[in-house]
């Protein structure tokens, strides 16, 4: 039996929430009082910094594994989260993503389908399952994580970009369709945030100076935008770009090639 106090505590499901950007989003929601359902594709082991931050803030969380290369696992994931917490999530953050390197001249059907499965099909099926469940709270919402490149798409990471364009389209459709249930659907479009080892300090400084604000977003900036949308009861169908102004300009290539 789940206690009344726990039932009254909101739950947030964050896909990819055990690491990298998803971890920062999870931390912001956890500090705001949400109990967390953290999804991982193959495991839910927290990155060291996140485990320490959760312990310091006394964040309550549980991990769930679902391989979104099989998108139908999304429906089972929603059932598992609902059963564990005693009610469906109040907030769904679709943060998990596949990011491969391909262009028009070498992209394959397998590339396209793998990216679509993880980046578009799984979020759609999760949203479907989310809308079919009941929660004791009002103001339920979905936040999809997109990409600032969608305003001015280039040819790099083609399969990834196309899958994110599909998710952006779904954000608008779902906002219209789910409004009647009181479910809000929005998105955050990050710019270059957590760079890989391919970006040295010199390159990061150069890219920072290429942004209209002369600033690259920090992961906390994206997390704060997600938290805002989770709380903004009158906002739906919106995309917030958190990118230092990058969406205002057109870049010929992905940042790793500039």
pLDDT for the residue numbered 139: 82
pLDDT for the residue numbered 6: 63
Per-residue confidence at 3, pLDDT binned at 50, 70, 90? very low
Where is 85: in which H helix or E strand? helix 73-85
Q: Is the pLDDT of residue 213 over 90?
A: yes
What mean pLDDT value characterizes the chain?
95
Q: Is the pLDDT of residue 4 over 60?
A: no
**Percent of the chain that is helix, strand, coil (3-state, to 5):** 45, 15, 40
Among the listed residues 22, 15, 66, the one whose alpha carbon sits nearest the alpha carbon of residue 47: 22
Stretch 200-221: mean pLDDT, rounded?
Answer: 95
pLDDT in tens, 37-55: 999 999 999 999 999 999 9
Q: Is the pLDDT of residue 243 over 80?
A: yes
pLDDT for the residue numbered 1: 32
The first and second tokens of residue 238, run together, are 């919106």
pLDDT for the residue numbered 137: 63
Q: Which CATH class is domain 4-257?
A: alpha beta
pLDDT for the residue numbered 198: 78
Distance of CA 86 to the CA centre of its chain: 23
pLDDT for the residue numbered 197: 80
What percent of the chain shows pLDDT beyond 90? 88
- Residues 91 and 13: beta-carbon distance below 8 Å: yes
pLDDT in tens, 156-198: 999 999 999 999 999 999 999 999 999 999 999 999 998 888 7
pLDDT for the residue numbered 214: 97
The first and second tokens of residue 216, run together, are 């690259």
Tracing tokens 């390197």 back to the chain, one arrives at 101
pLDDT for the residue numbered 136: 61
Stretch 221-227: mean pLDDT, rounded?
Answer: 99
Q: Annotated catalytic sites, by residue? A: 160
Stretch 149-158: mean pLDDT, rounded?
Answer: 96
Stretch 77-83: mean pLDDT, rounded?
Answer: 97
């Amino acid at each position: 039996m789940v206690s009344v106090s726990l039932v009254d505590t909101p739950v947030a499901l964050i896909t990819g929430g055990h690491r990298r950007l998803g971890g920062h989003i999870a931390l912001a929601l956890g500090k705001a009082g949400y109990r967390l359902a953290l999804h991982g594709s193959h495991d839910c082991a927290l990155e060291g910094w996140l485990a320490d931050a959760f312990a310091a803030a006394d964040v309550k969380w549980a991990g769930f594994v679902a391989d979104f290369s099989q998108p139908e696992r999304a429906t089972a994931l929603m059932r598992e989260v609902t059963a564990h917490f005693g009610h469906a999530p109040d907030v769904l953050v679709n943060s998990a993503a596949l990011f491969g390197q391909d262009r028009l001249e070498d992209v394959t059907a397998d590339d396209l389908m793998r990216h679509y499965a993880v980046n578009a099909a799984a979020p759609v099926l999760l949203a479907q399952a989310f809308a079919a469940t009941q929660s004791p709270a009002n103001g339920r919402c979905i936040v999809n994580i997109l990409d600032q490149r969608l305003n001015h798409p280039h040819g790099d990471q083609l399969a990834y970009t196309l899958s994110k364009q599909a998710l952006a389209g779904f954000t608008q459709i779902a906002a219209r369709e789910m409004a009647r249930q009181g479910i809000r659907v929005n998105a955050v479009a990050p710019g270059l945030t957590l760079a890989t080892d391919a970006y040295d300090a010199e390159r990061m400084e150069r890219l920072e100076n290429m942004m209209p604000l002369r600033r690259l977003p920090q992961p906390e900036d994206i997390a704060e935008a997600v938290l805002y949308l989770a709380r903004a009861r009158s906002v739906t169908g919106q995309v917030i770009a958190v990118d230092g102004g990058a969406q205002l300009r057109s870049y010929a290539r992905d940042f790793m090639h500039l």
